[in-house]
Amino acid sequence: MEDFPWLSLLIALPLVGAVVVGLLPGAKEALVKQTALGVSLLVGVLTVVMALGFDPDGARFQFTEKYWWIKQFGVHWAVGVDGVALVLVLLSVILVPLVILASWTADGRSGGVDVPAKRSVKTYFALLLALEAMMIGVFAATDVFVFYVFFEAMLIPVYFLIGSYGGAQRSYAAVKFLLYSLFGGLLMLVAVLWLVKLSNEHLGHGTFLFEELRTIKDVDPTTAKWLFLGFFIAFAIKAPMVPVHTWLPDAAAQAPAGALVLIVGVLDKVGTYGMLRFCLELFPGASAWAAPVVIAFAVLSIVYGAVLAIGQVDLKRLVAYTSVSHFGFIVLGIFAMTSAAQSGAALYMVNHGFSTGALFLIVGFLIVRRRSAKISDFGGVQKVAPVLAGTFLVAGLSGLSLPGLAPFVSEFMVLTGTFSRYEVAAIVATSGIVLAAVYILWTYQRTMGGPAVEKVQGMADLTAREKWAVAPIIAIIVVMGFFPQPVLNVINPSVKVTLERVGHPQDPAPKIGTVAENGARP
């Protein structure tokens, strides 16, 4: 089974599924949904089977494949996963079937997340599957060109998901999303073009293979800084960081909640993943040079995102701004360059995917029931739909990093890891947790607490299908809150390699190695 092309299969399968779903007769909606769910479940099962074969102590990249793709350009079809990529692929394949399940119906009685009526149902599910293929591809790519291809191609299904299935302002939001991302991507293209020139000069042959590019030493510092910026701006837009975050709230307000789970939960992780993988390892010197500024912006994102979240009147915009804040934590952890912070950041990517995913799904359920996303239109939901309110509370509490829930571990690791190198940044960032308590609890109080307002009365509680869509995520959040160690074991070796590459193999005193274990202790 060593040479089995797992990753190529995992990328091809949803793509084929997307084509099949697209070719099904549009009238047979049930068949369309069953096919989409079946394909995504199969992909999920296969990924889990593959992941069980992953050896954390083995080679860094496993399940690798490498063939020539475009020889003139020096491009290989090269895929493989290390620990960080593996957990992100797992995150993607777990969320997709749940999103499909949650998008099954969209009306007040049978629940579901908001997908506008009168739109092609099969296209929606085909786009979700196509997106799944590209999400797996982007994390699995070990050739920078292949990464870039998926990075850009991914925009297209998302663009159509927002633009065709979103709210009233959907086309504005979709175009804004696309142009922001495309702009960043094109800057990255220049850097990618330059990389091959660099490899020509330093390695004697043009290549985009990550494993070869990272061995290039003594790049001219000025060049490295420019290249770093080319990659970093693209990733910062994707992540999104203040001040290039403005596309996210608009996209979030308009996009259907199901697609939003994938956009914020997985897609934006490509930004932080790219920083960790490409910025740090390809340009270690430039990363060290930029770290203080990046950390300043990360802290700004944490505080600014949280403050703006408090002021939102729209549920989806609120969750979007909380994500801006959380992405600040992830970036902070990556650029603090200590093992605890970086492992924490990698773990945070996964945790945030689940926690925000759950939040968006439940918000989607709420919006479909009430036909409004305004916080002021809700009140007393807890009285009429206790399960809905309860899941919202759990997801929300995970968002504010309550101990015992998954995000706490990662946030704690990031903060302690950062503190050993950048005390002030860590202290200011901690205020993000306090603000998180405000925006989550206040929102819960306004929407779920108090007497049930008129329009909320008679609101149906979660249906069985909706429970099935949310329960696995809640379970994962709880389990990973108590037992993060298995995931950390997978992540840590990759992070160690990254830190060695950036020249920080040792953490500064005080030693943080024990913190990871503290976080792990139930």
Partner 1 sequence: MSPHLNAVAQGAEIPAPHIEYGQLGPMLLVFGVAIAGVLVEAFVGRSWRYAVQVPLTFLGLFGGFVWTVVLAVTEEPFHVAAMGALGVDGPTLFLQGAILILALVSLLLIAERQQAHFTAQASALPGSEAEQETMAAGITQTEIFPLLMFAVGGMLMFPAANDLLTMFVALEVLSLPLYLLCGLARRRRLLSQEAAVKYFLLGAFSSAFFLYGAALLYGYAGSVRLSVIAAQIERDTGSETLLLAGVALLSVGLLFKIGAVPFHMWKPDVYQGAPTPITALMASCTMVSAFGALLRVYYVGLEKLAWEWRPAMWGVAILTMVAGAVIAITQTDIKRMLAYSSIAHAGFLLTAVVAIPDAAAASAKGLAGALFYLAAYGFTTIGAFAVITMVRDAGGEAGHLSRWAGLGKRSPVVAGIFAFFLLAFAGIPLTSGFTGKFAVFQAAVDAGATPLVVVGVLASAIAAFFYVRVIVVMFFSEPEADGPTVVAAPATAAAVALGLTATVVLGVLPQPMLDLAGHAASQLFVR
Report the residue number, 174 or 469, with the smaller CB distance to partner 1. Answer: 174
> For partner 1, which residue of 63, 139, 148, 360 counts as binding (CB under 8 A)?
148
Report the residue number, 121 or 295, with the smaller CB distance to partner 1. Answer: 121
Whether the ω angle into residue 486 lies within 30 degrees of 0, i.e. cis, is no
Radius of gyration (C-alpha) of the chain in whole angstroms: 22
Handedness of CA 225, 281, 333, 47 (dihedral sign): positive
Nearest distance from residue 145's CB to partner 1, in Å?
9
Please, which residues bridge with residue 209 across strands? 143
Q: Binding of partner 1 at residue 182 (CB under 8 A)?
A: yes
Give the integer Cα–Cα distance in Å for 24 and 146.
Answer: 30
By residue count, the chain amounts to 522
Whether residue 153 contacts residue 130, with contact meaning beta carbons closer than 8 Å, is answered with: no
Q: Binding of partner 1 at residue 171 (CB under 8 A)?
A: yes
Q: 107 to 136, contacts with partner 1 by CB under 8 A?
A: 120, 123
Give the integer Cα–Cα distance in Å for 285 and 431.
Answer: 30
Q: Binding of partner 1 at residue 186 (CB under 8 A)?
A: yes
> For partner 1, which residue of 16, 45, 49, 179 counts as binding (CB under 8 A)?
179
Q: 70 to 99, contacts with partner 1 by CB under 8 A?
A: 70-73
Whether the ω angle into residue 240 lies within 30 degrees of 0, i.e. cis, is yes
Give the integer Cα–Cα distance in Å for 184 and 361.
Answer: 28
Q: Considering only the stretches 91-99, 188-196, 356-364, 428-436, report the one whose residues sit in contact with partner 1 under the rule CB under 8 A.
A: 188-196
Give the integer Cα–Cα distance in Å for 339 and 422.
Answer: 14
Q: Considering only the stretches 166-174, 210-218, 380-388, 501-509, report the one whose residues sit in contact with partner 1 under the rule CB under 8 A.
A: 166-174
Q: Considering only the stretches 173-181, 292-300, 399-407, 488-496, report the one whose residues sit in contact with partner 1 under the rule CB under 8 A.
A: 173-181
Q: Considering only the stretches 124-132, 185-193, 448-456, 476-484, report the one whose residues sit in contact with partner 1 under the rule CB under 8 A.
A: 185-193
DSSP string for 181-232: HHHHHHHHHHHHHHHHHHHHHHHSS---BHHHHTT-----HHHHHHHHHHHH
Task: Count the site residues for partner 1 by CB under 8 A.
Answer: 36
DSSP string for 80-114: EE-HHHHHHHHHHHHHHHHHHHHTS--BTTTB---
- What is the DSSP secondary structure assignment for residue 265, as one 8-state letter? I
Q: Binding of partner 1 at residue 155 (CB under 8 A)?
A: yes
Give the integer Cα–Cα distance in Å for 363 and 386.
Answer: 14
Q: Token digits for 500?
A: 């060695």
Handedness of CA 77, 17, 136, 327 (dihedral sign): positive
- At position 74, the amino acid (one-letter code) is G
Nearest distance from residue 51's CB to partner 1, in Å?
27
- At position 122, the amino acid (one-letter code) is K
> For partner 1, which residue of 54, 194, 442, 482 counts as binding (CB under 8 A)?
194
Q: Binding of partner 1 at residue 245 (CB under 8 A)?
A: no
Taking residues 54 to 73 in sequence order and writing x for each that binds partner 1 by CB under 8 A, - otherwise, the string is: --------------xxxxxx
Q: Binding of partner 1 at residue 234 (CB under 8 A)?
A: no
Whole-angstrom CA distances from 116 to 163, 256, 269, 361, 368 are 11, 8, 27, 15, 10
Q: Token digits for 515?
A: 């913190």
Name the strand (E) or helix (H) holding 338: none
> For partner 1, which residue of 8, 34, 164, 430 counts as binding (CB under 8 A)?
164
Nearest distance from residue 512's CB to partner 1, in Å?
40
Q: Binding of partner 1 at residue 24 (CB under 8 A)?
A: no
Q: Binding of partner 1 at residue 8 (CB under 8 A)?
A: no
Q: Considering only the stretches 38-46, 182-190, 304-312, 503-511, report the one whose residues sit in contact with partner 1 under the rule CB under 8 A.
A: 182-190
Report the residue number, 1 or 72, with the smaller CB distance to partner 1. Answer: 72
Q: Binding of partner 1 at residue 424 (CB under 8 A)?
A: no
Nearest distance from residue 148's CB to partner 1, in Å?
7
Whole-angstrom CA distances from 51 to 13, 37, 92, 223, 257 are 17, 21, 13, 38, 28
Nearest distance from residue 278's CB to partner 1, in Å?
17
Report the residue number, 48 or 190, with the smaller CB distance to partner 1. Answer: 190
Report the residue number, 194 or 442, with the smaller CB distance to partner 1. Answer: 194
Q: Binding of partner 1 at residue 484 (CB under 8 A)?
A: no
Q: Binding of partner 1 at residue 163 (CB under 8 A)?
A: yes
> For partner 1, which residue of 18, 114, 129, 170 counts as binding (CB under 8 A)?
170
Whole-angstrom CA distances from 45 to 36, 38, 517 are 14, 10, 30
> For partner 1, which residue of 153, 300, 384, 438 counts as binding (CB under 8 A)?
153
- What is the DSSP secondary structure assignment for residue 55, as one 8-state letter? -
Q: 198 to 227, contacts with partner 1 by CB under 8 A?
A: 200
Give the integer Cα–Cα distance in Å for 124 and 31.
Answer: 14
Q: Binding of partner 1 at residue 160 (CB under 8 A)?
A: yes
Q: Binding of partner 1 at residue 521 (CB under 8 A)?
A: no
Question: Applying CB under 8 A, which residues contact partner 1?
Answer: 68-73, 120, 123, 148-150, 152-153, 155-156, 159-160, 163-164, 170-171, 174-175, 178-179, 182-183, 186-187, 189-190, 193-194, 196-197, 200
